[in-house]
């Protein structure tokens, strides 16, 4: 059943057209089909303008009641801001839309970094301002939720897990309380899983059929395998099929299904509730979830069976709990398979997506900055070689490695554009102004633009410079605490951020201990301001860093072995 908001949107868009055509028939006025069509379109345009005017007047008086100012509206040429929506969608796919993009940025600069526009009959707010983003994520946290649109978009994939649930119900607090202890420092200090899967990664590189490595695909497999073992205690081994994939292989099928479900859900978020129309005759989530759910159900069933058949003493139970996976932790709380499956998928998505994107982006930048690669290898030179598991205490002091990771996260956040919904009318205070935000509206915020803002990061904001995290430029974080939010902020701060840092650090250390050089094998260039994409000039292939490798999306590199590794 279509939600009420979508019915209202359709009525506003097509109602005037239908009335215009009906009027021609009732009055008996003779006109060609072209004339009727033009009149219907004109009627829709005028009606849309009237709806917008009424909304603006209503918003003006609502803002006055709260001693605030309405956010300036960004007007576009086409009804419903279809041209703007198209520009954003094509931008995501890597097609430039410079004129609208420039107009948007110019408008943001004149409106304290918040604008309002109408998309498909509904008002939407958009910001790249650090104060506004800080208010949404932290200061005014209770005023903003994920919203029903987001839940519908990701519901088939993530269910009612931690990322799709709201603080307005009890589920979000339950999910966070249940999973947070699992990511405590004591658990993240055990690098056995990272060591094991890094060995598999390096082995896959060694056995590649050529010296041209699809590093993004390998990082995607590495993070998925490590995440599945860390969270489920299950050996997926998608890395083992990196160069010998078969259509019936379980790991390859799961990897492909996971990517498809993630991309389809992300596309739904961009489309809003209109995806309910575009998917009326084809649900792209059906096929991938038919692969994902049975595998997870088998894993959960096996864990339940082990627990029921085990007859452990109190001491044995204590030891088992200390070495438990997230799945075991959840089974201590509930045996609801649907709930457990949703939570596992939510955490796996974050564990895999962020780290795969980060590692790929780091390799891209190191390939373009050999001096940074040299400095990073010098920092890790004294660490134990492969075969001796690294410790938390050995990795933590590596300041330049952390600077490389932070600078990459600054330029290429894994979630460059996010969304919240205002629960009710509220005000965002900025530079002495009180800006009115209307309840029930969608609020898009761009960490991508904010983390590249010259006013915050200097004239070299678009340049990759890890050194900025080691000198006085780092003071921007103390002055603007929400200028850098790759893992969100406030009560919804990512509970797995330390996992991402530790996994990325461990993988890069082992990779650079064995390889001293990284070079791009194709002329790939950065393309998009919304997602991380590269395209070879004469090649149709493209990759998206924020939604890891899917089918024809790749980052090709050549790795040069270190002399010590050749001995």
**Cα separation, 267 vs 274, whole angstroms:** 11
**Cα separation, 190 vs 107, whole angstroms:** 49
Give the strand pairing for 417-422 and 213-214.
unpaired
**Cα separation, 381 vs 520, whole angstroms:** 24
Residue 453 annotated as binding site: no
The side-by-side arrangement of strands in the sheet containing 426-430 is 69-70, 433-437, 426-430
Q: Which two tokens stand for residue 448?
A: 């991508």
Work out the number of other CB atoms within 10 angstroms of the CB of residue 471: 10
**Cα separation, 120 vs 71, whole angstroms:** 19
**Cα separation, 137 vs 511, whole angstroms:** 35
Please tell me the number of Cα atoms within 13 Å of 350 on its side-chain side. Answer: 26
CA dihedral 86, 87, 88, 89 (to 10 degrees): 50
- β-pair partners for 429: 434
Distances (CA, A) of 41 to 48, 49, 118, 369, 464: 10, 12, 18, 53, 48
Work out the number of other CB atoms within 10 angstroms of the CB of residue 482: 22
| 251, 237 Cβ separation under 8 angstroms | yes
Q: Which two tokens stand for residue 229?
A: 């073992």
Give the strand pairing for 433-437 and 426-430.
antiparallel
Q: Which residues are annotated as a binding site for heme?
A: 494
Q: Which residues are annotated as a binding site?
A: 494
């Amino acid at each position: 059943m279509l939600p009420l908001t979508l019915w209202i949107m359709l009525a506003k868009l097509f109602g005037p057209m239908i009335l215009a055509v009906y009027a021609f028939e009732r009055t008996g006025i003779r006109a060609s089909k072209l004339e009727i069509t033009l009149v219907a379109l004109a009627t829709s345009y005028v009606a849309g303008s009237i709806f917008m005017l009424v909304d603006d007047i209503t918003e003006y008086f609502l803002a006055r009641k709260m001693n605030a100012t309405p956010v300036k509206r960004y007007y576009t040429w086409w009804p419903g801001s279809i041209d703007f929506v198209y520009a954003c969608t094509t931008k995501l796919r890597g097609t430039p839309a410079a004129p609208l993009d420039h107009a948007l940025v110019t408008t943001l600069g004149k409106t304290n970094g918040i604008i309002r526009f109408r998309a498909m009959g509904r008002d939407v707010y958009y910001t790249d301002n650090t104060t506004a983003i800080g208010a949404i994520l932290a200061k005014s946290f209770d005023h903003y939720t994920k919203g029903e649109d987001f839940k519908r978009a990701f519901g088939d994939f993530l269910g009612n897990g931690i990322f799709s649930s709201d603080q307005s119900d009890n589920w979000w607090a339950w999910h966070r309380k249940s999973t947070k202890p699992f990511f405590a420092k004591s658990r993240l200090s055990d690098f056995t899983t990272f060591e094991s899967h890094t060995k598999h990664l390096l082995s896959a590189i060694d056995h590649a059929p050529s010296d041209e490595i699809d590093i993004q695909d390998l990082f995607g497999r590495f993070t998925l395998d490590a995440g599945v073992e860390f969270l489920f205690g299950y050996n997926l081994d998608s890395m083992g099929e990196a160069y010998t994939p078969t259509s019936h292989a379980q790991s390859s099928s799961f990897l492909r299904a996971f990517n498809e479900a993630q991309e389809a859900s992300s596309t739904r978020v961009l489309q809003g509730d209109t995806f309910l129309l575009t998917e009326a005759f084809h649900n792209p989530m059906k096929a991938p979830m038919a692969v994902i759910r049975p595998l997870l159900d088998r894993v959960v069933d096996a864990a339940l069976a082990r627990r029921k058949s085990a007859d452990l003493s109190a001491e044995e139970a204590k030891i088992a709990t200390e070495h438990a996976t997230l799945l075991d932790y959840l089974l201590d709380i509930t045996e609801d398979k649907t709930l457990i499956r949703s939570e596992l998928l939510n955490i796996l998505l974050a564990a895999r997506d962020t780290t795969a994107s980060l590692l790929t982006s780091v390799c891209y930048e190191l390939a373009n900055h050999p001096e940074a690669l040299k400095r990073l290898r010098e920092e890790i030179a004294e660490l134990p070689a492969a075969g001796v598991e690294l410790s938390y205490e050995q990795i933590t002091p590596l300041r330049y490695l952390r600077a490389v990771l932070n600078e990459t996260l600054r330029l290429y956040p894994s979630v460059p554009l996010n969304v919240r919904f205002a629960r009710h009318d509220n005000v965002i205070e900025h530079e002495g102004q009180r800006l009115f935000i209307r309840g029930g509206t969608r609020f898009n915020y761009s960490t991508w633009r904010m983390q590249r803002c010259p006013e915050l990061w200097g004239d070299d904001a678009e340049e990759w410079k890890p050194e900025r995290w080691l000198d006085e430029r780092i003071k921007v974080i103390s002055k603007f605490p929400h200028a850098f939010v790759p893992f969100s902020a406030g009560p919804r701060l990512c509970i797995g951020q330390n996992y991402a840092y530790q996994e990325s650090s461990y993988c890069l250390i082992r990779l650079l201990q064995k390889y001293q050089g990284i070079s791009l094998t194709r002329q790939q260039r950065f393309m998009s301001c919304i997602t991380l994409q590269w395209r070879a000039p004469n090649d149709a292939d493209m990759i998206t860093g924020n939604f890891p490798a899917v089918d024809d999306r790749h980052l090709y590199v050549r790795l040069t072995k270190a002399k010590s590794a050749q001995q």
